[in-house]
Amino acid sequence: MNITLKIWRQKNEHAKGKFVTYKLDDVSKEMTFLEMLDYLNEKLIKEGNDPVAFDSDCREGICGMCGLYINGRPNGPKKGVTACQLSMSVFKDGDTITVEPWRAKAFPVIKDLIVNRNAFDKIIQVGGYISVTTGSAPEANSIPVKKENAERAFDSGICIGCGACVAACKNASAMLFIGAKVSQLALLPQGRVEAKERVKTMVAKMDELGFGNCSNTGACEAECPKEIKLTNIARLNREFYKANLS
Amino acid sequence: MSRFLGSSITKKITMALLGLFLILFLPVHLGINFLLLKSDPEPFNKAAHFMATFWLIKGFEVLLLASFLLHIFYGIFLQIQNWLARGKQYKITNYSQTSFFSKFMIWTGLIIFIFLIIHFMNFYFIKIGWVQGDPENFYGVAHQLFKIPAYIILYIFSFLILGFHLAHAFWSAFQTLGWNTTVLSLVFKGLGTLFAILIPLGFTIIPLVIFFTK
Ligand code: HEM
Ligand code: SF4
Ligand code: FES
């Protein structure tokens, strides 16, 4: 396939940045989106140009590093996939693909398509964990967990912290991410112990870091590669006022 | 406590509660408006008089006005924060599958606000003496207004916009209050759509009937 790429290039956090157009022929339908970018970069390096900087690690949809805003959608036109899982077979010969970094005030661009997602780490650091004494893992069946809650906690726990929800949201809100992180712990007995303090500190941090407010628009749910549900935001709100009013 | 009151979620919950309070008021108002269809002005004027003088309702009125103002204040405040949170805009705007009307809440809200000012000039300001008119004959005022085609068009347009606001607002308020599970969500979305159609429809039928029959 022949593909035209319009890619955001920006030298560093403070540089102005602009779109640069690249033409690639011989793009195979079997490539993933990131392999296509690797292919472009090999070409750029051979020509003595600066390769396009983009993030990736696992390349199998589990680490959450690779987020790209492709043709107006986080991770491109396919539902429920990360950029590394996106196959070039969703594009046609002659297509023009515009690639932008996540845009949010809380996620500044570091270089080209790479953004700084430390804001998420900061939110996790103030409460997205449980305090346990270290040692060998306790016997799994000593604390009974309702099957339903175990399943719900798992559905929330699969959030990979990629930030596609923030990128998709018209308000750059992080509520789906925090909803998932608060839910996965709030649903389990081990997490309940610190549930009240957790939801308060995480929400306060989120506000402080400049994420927008939730309008219940649902773009996050539509674009989340792990298909985290809006019910997590409803639970977050419940947890939040329960923690503050009791 | 300030962490609680200043929180984005508290602001949204406040908006949702105030919004639901305003929503509750709409069917009551509509019910009274239907009295305009009677050829006898008495029942409507009596109802309006009762609303204007009964102490409980007067307290309610203050509450209603305060709700509007706070709902509008938070609406604008949150919207400005939301605009600022993006930073640099995307070249290609996101077209993700979303609750369509949620994207225009600030604009539908502001149009409702403009309509409310006009509405207040017509009625409330007469009552408090800012505008000339007979506060004991709101029936007459309404019938006069509903003879002006331009006013009817403005009126219907405003309620269409209110319908758009409600189409998202009703469900959204329950989601904000945390009352949504997968099943409840469908129930509230259904009820919300029904409400967003029936209430504006009810309000717009009245001037049309008056214009074409009286
Ligand atoms: C009869 C009049 C009105 C009713 C019944 C109403 C009701 C509601 C409700 C129930 C919500 C949902 C709250 C939530 O998402 O949790 C809402 C949202 C909203 N309303 Fe209103 N509203 C009215 C008038 C207005 C006016 C005059 C404005 C003026 C600016 C306004 C601006 C907004 C905005 C911006 C939102 C979205 C808030 C957000 O999602 O961040 N509304 N409205
Ligand atoms: S909620 Fe979904 S989109 Fe948001 S960070 Fe987690 S996995 Fe990514
Ligand atoms: S590289 Fe790990 S999720 Fe894409």
What is the predicted pLDDT for the residue at B204? 96
Domain boundaries, chain B: 2-88+97-213
Q: Label residues A181-215 b or e (16+ Cβ within 10 Å = b).
A: bbbbbbbbeebeebbbebbbbbbbbbbebbbbbbb
Interface list for A 203-232 with B (CB within 8 A): 203-204, 206-207, 210-219, 222-223, 229-231
Identify whether residues A191 and A104 lie together within a single domain. no
CA dist B140 and B122 (Å) reads 12
Minimum-distance CB partner of A216 among B92, B95, B99: B99
- A contacts of B181 (beta carbons < 8 Å): 231, 234
Among the bound ligands, the one closest to the CA of A227: 2
Which two tokens mark A191?
A: 């997490």
Please report, in angstroms and rounded to a whole number, the separation of the first and last CA atoms in chain B: 58
Contact between chains at A216 and B171 (C-beta distance less than 8 A): yes
State the average pLDDT over residues A119-140: 90
CB A192 within 8 A of CB A186: yes
Residues 6+ positions from A136 with CB-CB distance below 8 Å: none
- A contacts of B179 (beta carbons < 8 Å): 234
CA dist B126 and B139 (Å) reads 13
What is the predicted pLDDT for the residue at B2? 67
DSSP state of A161: -
As its CATH architecture, domain B2-88+97-213 has Up-down Bundle (1.20)
- Residue-wise pLDDT for A64-95, tens only, equals 999 999 999 999 999 999 999 999 999 999 99
**B2 and chain A in contact, CB less than 8 A:** no
Identify whether residues A77 and A123 lie together within a single domain. no
What is the predicted pLDDT for the residue at B120? 84
Three-state DSSP class for residue B10: helix
What is the predicted pLDDT for the residue at B1? 56
Identify whether residues A63 and A164 lie together within a single domain. no
Cα dihedral value A243, B2, B8, B10, nearest 10: 50
**Most distant pair of Cα atoms in chain B: their distance:** 60
Cβ–ligand 3 distance for A84 under 6 Å, the answer: yes
* Cβ neighbour number for residue A245 with a 10 Å cutoff: 7
CA-nearest residue to B90 within chain A is A103
CA dist B140 and A182 (Å) reads 57
Identify whether residues A47 and A157 lie together within a single domain. no
CATH assignment at residue A56: 3.10.20.30
Strand residues in B120-194 grouped as ranges (E): none
CA dist A237 and B181 (Å) reads 13
CA dist A183 and A10 (Å) reads 37
Interface list for B 166-185 with A (CB within 8 A): 168, 171-172, 175-182, 185
- Residue-wise pLDDT for A11-51, tens only, equals 999 999 999 999 999 999 999 999 999 999 999 999 999 99
Instruction: Give the end of a domain, one of A90, A111, A132.
Output: A111
Which two tokens mark A70?
A: 């492709």
DSSP state of A17: -
B82-to-A9, A104, A165, A211 alpha-carbon distances in Å: 26, 10, 14, 8
Residue A108, H or E segment = none
Minimum-distance CB partner of B12 among A104, A168, A213: A213
Contact between chains at B172 and A215 (C-beta distance less than 8 A): yes
Could you give the angle at the alpha carbon of B94 between the alpha carbons of B89 and B96, nearest 5°?
Answer: 155
Identify whether residues A123 and A104 lie together within a single domain. no
Helices and strands of chain B, counted as H and E runs? 9, 0
Residues 6+ positions from A232 with CB-CB distance below 8 Å: A156, A176, A179, A180, A182, A183
CA dist A201 and A10 (Å) reads 34
Interface list for B 142-171 with A (CB within 8 A): 168, 171
pLDDT tens for chain B, 214 residues: list them. 567 788 999 999 999 999 999 999 999 999 999 999 988 888 988 888 887 777 778 888 889 999 999 999 999 999 999 999 999 999 998 878 788 899 999 999 999 999 999 988 887 777 776 767 777 788 888 888 898 999 999 999 999 999 999 999 999 999 999 998 888 889 999 999 999 999 999 999 999 999 998 6
- Residue-wise pLDDT for A139-191, tens only, equals 878 889 999 999 999 999 999 999 999 999 999 999 999 999 999 999 999 99
Residues within 6 Å of ligand 1 by CB: A 213, 215-216; B 12, 15-16, 19-20, 22-23, 71-72, 75-76, 78-79, 105-106, 109-110, 112-113, 165, 169, 172-173, 176
Q: Label residues A116-145 b or e (16+ Cβ within 10 Å = b).
A: ebebbebbeebbbeeeeeeeeeeeeeeeee
What is the predicted pLDDT for the residue at B133? 73
CATH assignment at residue A215: 1.10.1060.10
Instruction: Give the end of a domain, one of A111, A130, A152.
Output: A111
What is the predicted pLDDT for the residue at B144? 86
Minimal CA separation from B63 to chain A, in Å: 23
Please report, in angstroms and rounded to a whole number, the separation of the first and last CA atoms in chain A: 61
pTM for the structure as a whole:
0.93
Minimal CA separation from A35 to chain B, in Å: 23
Domain residues for the domain of A234 are 117-245
Residues 6+ positions from A129 with CB-CB distance below 8 Å: A185
Backbone phi, then psi, for B179, in 5-degree steps? -90, 15
CA-nearest residue to A166 within chain B is B86
Instruction: Give the end of a domain, one of A86, A111, A136.
Output: A111
What is the domain count for chain A? 2
Q: How far is the CA of B196 from the centre of ligand 2 (A)?
A: 32
Identify whether residues A88 and A187 lie together within a single domain. no
**B77 and chain A in contact, CB less than 8 A:** no
User: Which residues, in sequence order, are bridge partners of residue A107?
Assistant: A104
